[in-house]
Amino acid sequence: MHRWAGVLLALLMNGFLVGQMWVVRGAALSPGPAEAVVVREDEVHRRPVKAGERTVLEVSTTGLLEVVVYERTGDARELEEFRAGRVPRTAKVFSQVRELSYPLSSVTDTEFYVRVRHLRPGETRLRYVPGLVDEAMARLRKGENLVRNRGVVVVEGGRLTMPVYQLVPGTVVRVEVQSGRGVVGLLKTRDYLDVRDGRATVAGRCTPQACVEASSGRAVLEVAVGDYDDRYLVAEGQGLVFTYRVVATPEVLNHISSCT
C-alpha cells in the first residue's frame, strides 16, 4: 500500500497523471500560474476559466506563429472543428505574431482552447498569468491604464490584415514599428472592405490619424477609439516588425456594460 502511495505521489509530482488525463481528453496540460511550457505545433491547450477570472495568455516564439484562441460556445461542432485543426468561426486568430498577450475572461464559467501553428519554425513557449476581472477594473477605477491585448507582428512581404479585438470607446491602440519599411494602418470596416475588395488601396484609405509609414525603422501610431466601429490592422511592407497594444483607459468604465 505504502509502496503504491509512493508511486502515486511520484507520478503526481511529475504531473504525469494530470497530463495523462488531458491526453485522454485530447488536449495538452495547461501550465500553471506563470509557468511557461514549450508547446508543439497543433497541440490543443485547454484552459478552464471561472466566472470573474481574467487569465492572461502569453505566447512567444523564436519563429513566427499563427495563434488560434477559441472559447467554448456550447456548439459541439465548433469544438470538433477546433480539435480537427480547423478554425471555428467564433475563434480569434492572430497571424504572423512573434509574441502575443491576450486575456481569457468570462462572466460565466467557461473553457478556452489555444492552438499554435508555426509559420516559421522556432521554439514556442506559452504561459497563463492568473488574475481577476475585479482587479483589472479596480486598476481602471484608480485611474490607471491597462493593456487589454498586445502582439508583436512580423510582415516579411505582402499584406497582412487582422481584426483588432476588445475595442470600445476609451481604448487606445498604439502601434510601434521597430524595423522595416512599409505602412501600418488601423482601418474601420468600410475602409477595410474597400481595400480587401480592391475598390481602394491601403494608401488611398489611409489618413495620418489612422496610419503610420515607416521608411527605415521606428515610427509610432496612436489611435484613440471613440466609437464602437470595428477596426482592422492592415500592414504592407518588407521586413516590418511592429508591436500593437490595445490599452484601456479609465474612460472604458463608462462603456463596459455588465451583462444584459
Partner 1 sequence: MDRLTRRQVLKVLGGATVAAATGGFTGQLLGWATAQEPSRPLLPRPGRRVVIVGAGISGAMCARTLRKLAPDVEVVVLERNPTYVSGPSHVDYVVGLEDARKVTVTFDALVRDGVRVIRSPATGLRLQDNRVLTPQGFVEYSVLVLATGLVPAEHEVRNLLENRRLSPHAWTWAGTVELRRAVEAFSGGTFVLTVPPPPYKCPPGPYEVACLVQEYWRAKGVRAEVVVLDSNDRPQPPLLADLWRRVLQERGITYKPSFKVVELDPTSRVLISDRGERQRFDLASVIPPQRAPLFIEEAGLGGPFVPIDPATWRSRAQENLYALGDVAASPYTKSAFTAFLQGRNAAYFIARALGRDRGEPDPVFNQCWPFVSSKEALFVEVAWDKEGRPIPARNRTGAPSAQHVKDRKQWEYGLLRAVYG
> Residues 6 or more apart from 75 whose CB is under 8 A from it?
88
Q: Residue 101 in contact with residue 56, Cβ under 8 Å?
A: yes
Instruction: Single out the residue of 30, 31, 53, 71 in contact with partner 1 (rule: CB under 8 A).
Output: 71
Q: Residue 163 in contact with residue 95, Cβ under 8 Å?
A: no
Alpha-carbon distance of 122 to 223, in angstroms, equals 32
DSSP letter string, 134-161: HHHHHHHHTT--EEEEEEEEEE-SSEEE
User: Reduced to 3 states, what is the DSSP secondary structure of residue 17?
Assistant: helix
User: Applying CB under 8 A, does 228 fall inside the site for partner 1?
Assistant: yes
Alpha-carbon distance of 113 to 104, in angstroms, equals 10
Question: Which among 5-13, 174-182, 234-242, 246-254 is the span making contact with partner 1, rule CB under 8 A?
Answer: 246-254
Instruction: Single out the residue of 102, 112, 192, 244 in contact with partner 1 (rule: CB under 8 A).
Output: 192
Instruction: Single out the residue of 2, 3, 40, 89 in contact with partner 1 (rule: CB under 8 A).
Output: 89
Count of residues of this chain found to bind partner 1 when the rule CB under 8 A is applied: 33
Instruction: Single out the residue of 101, 106, 124, 171 in contact with partner 1 (rule: CB under 8 A).
Output: 106
Instruction: Single out the residue of 189, 201, 215, 238 in contact with partner 1 (rule: CB under 8 A).
Output: 189
Least distance (Å) from partner 1 to the CB of residue 81?
13
Q: Which residues contact partner 1 by CB under 8 A?
A: 51-52, 71, 73-75, 89-90, 106-108, 137, 141, 169, 189-190, 192-193, 196, 226-230, 251, 253-260
